[in-house]
Amino acid sequence: MSDITSIEQEALAAIHGAASLEALDAVRVSELGKKGRVSGLMGTLGAMSPEERKEKGPALNALKGRIEDAVRARKGALEAKALEAQLAREKIDLTLPAAPSAGEGALHPVMQVFEEIAAIFGDMGFRVAEGPDIEDDWHNFTALNFPEGHPARETHDTFFLKQGQGNLPKVLRTHTSPVQVRTMMTEKPPIRILVPGRVFRNDWDATHTPMFHQVEGLVIEEGIHMGHLKGCLVDFVKAFFEVDNVTARFRPHFFPFTEPSAEMDVQCQRSGGVVEVGKGTDWLEVLGCGMVHPNVLRNCGLDPAVHQGFAFGMGVDRLAMLKYGMPDLRPYFEADPQWTRHYGFSPWLTPSVSGGLS
Amino acid sequence: MKFTLSWLNDHLVTKASLDDILGYMGKAGLEVEHVIDPRKALAAFTVCKVLEAEPHPQADKLRVCKVETIDGVKQIVCGAPNARAGMTAIYAPLGTWIPGLGMALDKKPRAIRGIDSHGMMCSSRELELGDDHDGIIDLDGEYMVGMPAAEAMGFTDAVIDFEVTPNRPDWLGVQGIARDLAAAGAGRFLRNDVKKAPGSGECPVEIKLEAPEACPMFAGALIRGVTNGPSPDWMQARLIAAGLQPRSLLVDVTNYISLDRARPLHVYDAAKLTGAVVARLGKTGESLEALDGKTYKVSEDMCVIADGSGVIGLGGVMGGQSTAVSADTTDVFIESAWFDPLRTARTGRTTGIHSDARYRFERGVDPQSCVDGLNLAIALILEYGGGAATKGRIVGSIPARLNKVTFYHGDVERLTGLVVKPAEMKRILKDLEFDIEDAGDAWYLMPPSHRFDIDRSADIVEEIARLVGYDQLPTTSLPMPEGLKQSVAAARQSRVSIARRAMAARGFLEAVTWSFMAREHAALFGKVEDALTVANPVASELNYMRPTALGNLAQAAQRAANRGERSIRLFEAGPIYLGDGPKDQRTVIAGLVQPSPQRHWQGTPQPYDAFAAKADLFALLAALGQPGDKFQIGAATQPHWHPGQSASLKLGPKMTVANFGALHPAVLKALDVDGPVYAFELNLNALPVMKAKSTKTKPVLERADLTPIRRDFAFVVDADVPAGELARHALGADKQLISKVDVFDVYQGQGVAEGKKSVAFEITLQPREALKDDQIQAIMDRVIASVSKGTGGVLRG
C-alpha cells in the first residue's frame, strides 16, 4: 500500500506544482499514460491472486480516479488563469470613438406630412394620382372654369414659360387641381383620388414662397353631397392634428371650379407665436373645398346631371408648420442641415393611421 | 374692402353687435380679414382730470401732476408742454399697452427723476388716433372722469376689412354688403332707392359712343357754379376709414359712391373739355397723361374717352390730367358709364394701372347703376358744393339679361344634403332680389342686375346653402368604397417613400429645393431651351426649370460648409424637367456629399469617394428591390460628371437608370462649390415597376444543400480593361453554377508589364448536385477561356 500512498502524494504534489497546461499534461502522462506509474501498477494486477486483486484493484482504481480528478481540477484552474491573463491582455478603452459612420439622416417635415395626409385619406379609400408641374393653360385654368381674362386668374400670380402651345404660354401649375381634370378625362367614376405635389406662384415674402406643396382631393361618386365633404374633412383634421376635440367650421367662399364652395377653419389658440389646434377661440383657415362645378364636370366629359362629387385642396407647408411648430416657411427650401435635423423625422417613423402618424 | 359699422347702418336696420355682424359676414361668405374696434382697442384708456400740475424739482420740462382718474387720484409725471391744472385728458393706468409706442407701461410705478409716476396721460399719436404728438390730448368740454376714451373722442365706429371674392363685385359697395347680411338674417335691408336729381336745361356736353362693344352706355350731366372745397366731415371720415385720402368734394363724391354703391364715376373740369366727349377705341400713337402723373401708350384694343384734344381717359381705368378737376373748377361734367369687363381687365393689365374703377369694372358693375350713379352724384355735389345741374344726358343702353336660370330645388338636397323648405328658399332668393317663377320642381329665376355669377342651378344651391348656413350641413363620413383601385402613381409614391427612408437611414438629410435654378447654371448640366425658361421669374437666379437636382444640392452643401458643417450628406426626392410636355417630368432620387477630411485614432478613414457614392446608390437600389448587378455599368451619360470618375447604370442601350461618381470640377467651379463632390442621381421612372403578383404566397424555398465551392483566379489584362468586364465574362462561363464573382485585388507595378494590370477574383460555385473533380476542372477551364476571349487577359501563373 505504501506504493499507492507515495505515488499519490508525489502525483498530487506534481499536479499542484504544474505551472502550465503542458507541465500538467506531462504529469498526467507520467502517472496515467500507458507507461505511467499508475498504469504500471494496474498492470501488476493480472499476476495477483484473486484475493489480493480483490483488495488492490479497487484501491488502484480509486487512486486513478483521485489523480484524474486532481488533473481535471488543476486543468480548470490553469485554464481560468490563462483566460484571465488573456482577457487582461485584450483590455481596450471603449471610451474611444467607434469607427466613423454617416449616422442617421432625417426626413423633411413637408414630405413626412405628405405621407401622413396620404395615410389618413388612404384609410378612407383614396388612392394617389399625379400630374405634371408644367401645365398648359387649358388644364390649369380653362378646364377648371377660369375663363380667359377672368380676374380670378390674376389672383394666382402665375409663372409663365417662354414658349407654349398655340398662342398661350405654358404655365407652372398654380394648384394641384389640373390633376382632377386629367383624372376625370381618363377614368370613369367612381373616382376617389388624392393628389400631392409641388405648385408655383410668383410671390415671395414672409408667408409665401414661389414654390410650395398642395394636396388635392377629388371624389366623384353617386350620391356624394356636401355633407360627405364636411364629414370627410372633419374626420381628416381630427386624424391629422391627433387631438380628439378639433372644432371645424365651413364658410362660403369662391373658387371657380367648385359650386357651392367653402373654406374650412379649425379652432385654435394663438399665443406667443404658437398655434395650438384643439383649444382656444381663434380660427385658422386650413383648406378650400366645394362640390365640383358643373362646368368642370362637363369640360372633363362628365354629365353634371349624372355625376357629382367634391374636391378639396390644402397647403401642406402651412399644415406642417401648424402641426410641428416651424415658425417660418422660408427655411423649408434652404436645405439647411441644422433645420432639417431639428424639424426632420427619423427614417423609421412611417405614418399610418393604425400605428400613429407622428 | 374696408367699411365702417355706422356706414353699414345706412343700408341695414339691425340690432346686431359688431361680433354678430362679423358672424353674419362669415356665414354669408364675406371673409373678415381685420377688424379695428376703437372701443376695444382703447378699452384701457379713460377720461381724467388734472387737479394740480407743479414743476418737477429735478427737471425743467417735466411736471408732477395730481390727476383724478377712474382709479382714484394719482401722481403722474408728465413731459407734455400743455399739461396744466384743470385740463381734461386721457389716462392710461400702469401696465397698459400703448399702441402708438409699441410698448406697455411698467406694472409698478416708475420713478422719473426721483418722483414716482403712477400711469400716463396720452397724446393722440400714442393712441394711434392722429399725428399730434406735441402734447397730450386736451379735451374740450365736460366729460366724466372714467368715461371710455373712444366715446369721449368720438371714435366709436368699428372698421371692418374683408376679402371680396372675384365673383361678387356687388360687395365692393356697402349697399351690396348690407343686402347679403340682411338675407343672412342680420336685419332689414334698406333699398335707399335713388331719386332723380333736380336739373334743368339740356346738358351741353355732347356724348358719342363709337365703340358700343366696349362702352355701350354713358350717362352724363353738367353742374355749373360748383365750389370744389373739402367734402363734408362725415364723408371724409368714411373715406379715411376705407383707406382713401380725401381730396376735394368732387373727387370724394365719386370715390364715395364707388364705395357705397360699387358704382365708379368720373368727373371732368368742363372748362377744360373741347367738343364732344367720345367713348371709342384707341388709336396707335395716342397716349394719355393719367391722373397718377404717368403717361401711358394707348392701343387699339383699349376703350378710351376722348374729346377734341385727344384722349382724356382710359375708360373704366383712369382719367387724364388735362381735364382733371381742381380747386378752381366751377363747372363739372360727370361721367357714369359702363365698360366691358374683359376689355377693362386687358387695359388694366397692359398699363399696369390698379385703380378702384378698374377693379370694379373688370369684375362687373351693375348695368342698372348708370343712371342711379349719376343722380346720386348730382345730389351730393349740389348739397355740398352748390351750383345748378343740367338734365342728365343718357346715351346708349345695356340690353337686359334675357335668359332665366332654371333652378331645381331638389338640387339643394342632392348637392348639399341640406333639407330646406321651399318657402325658406323663396325667402332667401327674394332677399337677394331674385325674381321667382315657380313651376313646381323647376323654378325659373331672374337674377338681379348686380349679379354676374348666377348661370345654373348649382349657383342657386350655393346661395341657399350659404344663407341657411354651412353649419347646418350634415356631417357624414365618407362611405367606404367596395374594393380599392391600385395605380401606377401609388406604386411610385411608395417607392419614393422607401427610397427616402433608405437614404435617411444611410445618414443623408432630406432636402426640398426649388424646382427652379439659374438658366446659366442649368446650361452646365445640358442644353437649355426657352421651353423650360420662366418668362417672369421671381428672381433672376430662379429662371429655369431644373434638368437635375444636383445643382441645387451642391449649392446647398456649399452653404452648409460655409457655416461650418462638415461632410454633409444631402438628398432630394423630387422632380426634374426634360421638356415642357406632360410626360417630360421625371422623379429622381439625388444624393450628394461634399466630403471633408476625417481623422480617427485607428487611422485616417477612407474619405467619401465615387465608390462610396456607388455603395449608397446600390444600397438604395437594393432597398427598392432592384439589385445593382442587374444593370449594365458604363460611362456616364451626362456632361456634368468627372470623365474619369463616373459611370452610369443602364437597362439596355437607351434606358439610363442612374449616373454616379464625382461631379465635373469645371461645373463645381461655375457653381462656386468647392470640390470634390460625389453624387448620384437615380431616375425612378426608368426603374421597372415590379408587377403585382396574383398571390402573396412565396414559392417554396429551394435550399442549397451542398457546400459552395470557391476558387481564385488572377489575370493580366491591358490596364484600360474595366475589372467589371473580367467579372462579367467569368460569370458568363456558366450562368447556372457560378453564383458570384468577387474582384479582390487589382495590381499594377513590379512583376506586371507596363500598360498591364493584374486582376484577381474569387468565383463561387453553387452546385445543385455533387460535382466531381474533373467536372469542377471543366468549369474552371471554361472560366479561363471565357475571360481570355472576352478581355484578352492571360491567366497569371
Whether B779 and B639 map to the same domain: the answer is: no
Whether residue B434 is contained in a domain is answered as yes
Whether B579 and B638 map to the same domain: the answer is: yes
Closest Cβ–Cβ partner in B26, B500, B600 for A100: B600
Whether residue A315 is contained in a domain is answered as yes
Q: How far is A309 from chain B (nearest CA, A)?
A: 8
Using a CB-CB distance cutoff of 8 angstroms, which residues of chain A are in contact with residue B413? Answer: 225
Number of domains in chain B: 6
Whether A177 and A302 map to the same domain: the answer is: yes
Q: What is the pLDDT of residue B255?
A: 97
* CB–CB contact B534 A160 (8 Å): yes
The neighbour count for residue B206, using CB atoms within 10 Å, is 14
Closest Cβ–Cβ partner in A129, A169, A332 for B489: A129
Whether B392 and B410 map to the same domain: the answer is: no
pLDDT of chain A, 358 residues: tens digit per residue: 457 788 888 888 899 998 999 999 998 998 888 888 888 888 888 888 888 888 888 888 888 899 999 999 999 999 999 999 999 999 999 999 888 888 889 999 999 999 999 989 988 889 899 999 999 999 999 999 998 877 778 778 899 999 866 778 999 999 999 999 999 999 999 999 999 999 999 999 888 999 999 999 999 999 999 999 999 999 999 999 888 788 899 999 999 999 999 999 999 888 776 778 888 888 889 999 999 999 999 999 999 999 999 999 999 999 999 888 888 888 999 999 999 999 999 998 877 766 666 6
**Which A positions 7-66 lie with beta carbon below 8 A of chain B?**
none
Number of domains in chain A: 2
Residue with cell 439659374: B518
* CB–CB contact A124 B478 (8 Å): yes
Using a CB-CB distance cutoff of 8 angstroms, which residues of chain A are in contact with residue B574? Answer: 198
* CB–CB contact B585 A344 (8 Å): no
* CB–CB contact A105 B565 (8 Å): no
CATH number at residue B640: 3.30.930.10
Give the confidence band of B124 by pLDDT, cuts at 50, 70, 90.
confident
Whether residue A214 is contained in a domain is answered as yes
d(CA B675, CA B692): 43
Whether B164 and B123 map to the same domain: the answer is: no
Nearest CA in chain A to B169: A151
Whether residue B542 is contained in a domain is answered as yes
Percent of chain B with pLDDT over 90: 79
Whether residue B415 is contained in a domain is answered as yes
d(CA B754, CA B748): 8
Whether B251 and B136 map to the same domain: the answer is: no
Write the CB contacts of B72 (distance below 8 Å, at least 6 apart in sequence).
none
Burial of B732 (0-12, 13-18, 19+ CB in 10 A): middle
CATH number at residue B244: 3.50.40.10
Whether residue B699 is contained in a domain is answered as no
Whether residue B337 is contained in a domain is answered as yes
Whether residue A102 is contained in a domain is answered as no
Domain closes at, from B153, B168, B198: B153
Question: How far apart, in Å, are the Cα atoms of B147 and each of B27, B51, B69, B91, B785?
Answer: 35, 17, 10, 10, 108
Whether residue A339 is contained in a domain is answered as yes
* CB–CB contact A254 B346 (8 Å): no
Q: By residue range, what is the domain housing residue B85?
A: 40-153
Whether A154 and A302 map to the same domain: the answer is: yes
Whether A71 and A192 map to the same domain: the answer is: no
Closest Cβ–Cβ partner in B166, B461, B585 for A254: B166
* CB–CB contact B605 A100 (8 Å): yes
Whether B289 and B318 map to the same domain: the answer is: yes
Nearest CA in chain B to A124: B480
d(CA B415, CA B462): 9
Using a CB-CB distance cutoff of 8 angstroms, which residues of chain A are in contact with residue B573? Answer: 111
Closest Cβ–Cβ partner in B479, B493, B508 for A128: B493
Nearest CA in chain A to B461: A260
Whether B564 and B677 map to the same domain: the answer is: yes
Q: By residue range, what is the domain housing residue A26?
A: 2-89
Whether B173 and B217 map to the same domain: the answer is: no
Question: How far apart, in Å, are the Cα atoms of B388 and each of B381, B474, B539?
Answer: 10, 60, 56
- Give the helix/strand (H/E) hosting B430: helix B422-431
Whether A244 and A179 map to the same domain: the answer is: yes
Q: What is the pLDDT of residue A1?
A: 47
Closest Cβ–Cβ partner in B342, B506, B545 for A149: B342
Burial of B764 (0-12, 13-18, 19+ CB in 10 A): middle
ipTM for this model: 0.87
Closest Cβ–Cβ partner in A105, A230, A337 for B560: A337
Whether A160 and A52 map to the same domain: the answer is: no
According to the 3-state scheme, what is the secondary structure of B204-223? CCCEEECCCCCCCEEEEEEE
**Which A positions 196-225 lie with beta carbon below 8 A of chain B?**
196, 198, 200, 202-204, 210-211, 219, 221, 224-225
Nearest CA in chain A to B491: A128
Closest Cβ–Cβ partner in A163, A182, A263 for B530: A163
* CB–CB contact A134 B516 (8 Å): no
Closest Cβ–Cβ partner in B31, B461, B470 for A250: B470
Q: Number of A:B CB contacts under 8 A?
A: 288
CATH number at residue B729: 3.30.70.380
Whether A184 and A84 map to the same domain: the answer is: no
Range with the poorest average pLDDT among A316-320, B690-694, B701-705: B690-694
Give the pLDDT mean for B171-179: 97
Closest Cβ–Cβ partner in A97, A161, A250 for B532: A161
Residue type, A62: A
Question: How far apart, in Å, are the Cα atoms of A7 and each of A1, A17, B262?
Answer: 10, 15, 128
* CB–CB contact A346 B500 (8 Å): no
Residue B18 has pLDDT above 90, yes or no: yes
d(CA B64, CA B516): 64
Return the top range by mean pLDDT from B145-154, B301-310, B484-493: B301-310
DSSP bridge partners of A194: A128, A217
Q: What is the pLDDT of residue B643?
A: 94
pLDDT in tens, B35-55: 988 888 889 999 999 999 999
Closest Cβ–Cβ partner in A127, A159, A227 for B475: A227
Q: How far is A25 from chain B (nearest CA, A)?
A: 38
* CB–CB contact B504 A347 (8 Å): yes
* CB–CB contact B509 A106 (8 Å): yes
Whether B540 and B627 map to the same domain: the answer is: yes
Q: How far is A152 from chain B (nearest CA, A)?
A: 6
Cell of B48: 381724467
Q: How far is B131 from chain A (nearest CA, A)?
A: 29
Whether A336 and A206 map to the same domain: the answer is: yes
Using a CB-CB distance cutoff of 8 angstroms, which residues of chain B are in contact with residue A203? Answer: 538
Whether B164 and B111 map to the same domain: the answer is: no
Whether residue A167 is contained in a domain is answered as yes
Q: What is the pLDDT of residue B546?
A: 97
Whether residue B268 is contained in a domain is answered as yes
DSSP string over A101-131: -----BB-HHHHHHHHHHHHHHHTT-EE---
Give the pLDDT mean for B165-183: 96
Whether A37 and A146 map to the same domain: the answer is: no
Domain closes at, from A89, A123, A141: A89
Closest Cβ–Cβ partner in B489, B508, B542 for A130: B489
- Mapped onto helix, strand or coil, the DSSP state of residue B533 is strand
Closest Cβ–Cβ partner in A129, A132, A227 for B416: A227
**Which A positions 307-326 lie with beta carbon below 8 A of chain B?**
308
Residue B182 has pLDDT above 90, yes or no: yes
Three-point CA angle B38, B40, B44, nearest 5°: 105
Nearest CA in chain B to A111: B512
Q: How far is B581 from chain A (nearest CA, A)?
A: 7
* CB–CB contact A231 B471 (8 Å): no
What does the buried/exposed string (b/e) look like for B220-242 if buried means 16 or more CB atoms within 10 Å of the residue's CB?
bbbbeebebeebbeebbbbbebb
Whether A136 and A239 map to the same domain: the answer is: yes
* CB–CB contact B538 A253 (8 Å): no
Residue B189 has pLDDT above 50, yes or no: yes
Domain closes at, from B371, B396, B421: B396
Model's pTM, two decimal places?
Answer: 0.85
Whether B718 and B770 map to the same domain: the answer is: yes
Using a CB-CB distance cutoff of 8 angstroms, which residues of chain A are in contact with residue B685? Answer: none
Mean confidence (pLDDT) of chain B: 92
Whether A272 and A136 map to the same domain: the answer is: yes
Using a CB-CB distance cutoff of 8 angstroms, which residues of chain B are in contact with residue A332? Answer: 512
Burial of B299 (0-12, 13-18, 19+ CB in 10 A): middle
Return the top range by mean pLDDT from A144-148, B476-480, B533-537: B533-537
Whether A339 and A273 map to the same domain: the answer is: yes
Whether B321 and B428 map to the same domain: the answer is: no
A332 touches chain B (CB under 8 A): yes
Q: How far is B195 from chain A (nearest CA, A)?
A: 33
A100 touches chain B (CB under 8 A): yes
Domain closes at, from B418, B443, B471: B471
* CB–CB contact B600 A152 (8 Å): no
Residue B693 has pLDDT above 80, yes or no: no
Residue type, B556: A
Residue type, B120: M
Residue B624 has pLDDT above 70, yes or no: yes
Whether residue A278 is contained in a domain is answered as yes
Residue B110 has pLDDT above 90, yes or no: no
Residue type, A358: S
d(CA A264, CA A235): 13
d(CA B120, CA B110): 11
Using a CB-CB distance cutoff of 8 angstroms, which residues of chain A are in contact with residue B461? Answer: 259-260, 291
Whether residue B25 is contained in a domain is answered as yes
DSSP B766: -
DSSP string over B465-517: HHHH-GGGS---PPPPPSSPPP-HHHHHHHHHHHHHHHHHHTTPEE----SEE
Whether residue B676 is contained in a domain is answered as yes
Whether residue A238 is contained in a domain is answered as yes
Whether residue A98 is contained in a domain is answered as no
d(CA B540, CA B672): 17
d(CA B494, CA A119): 11
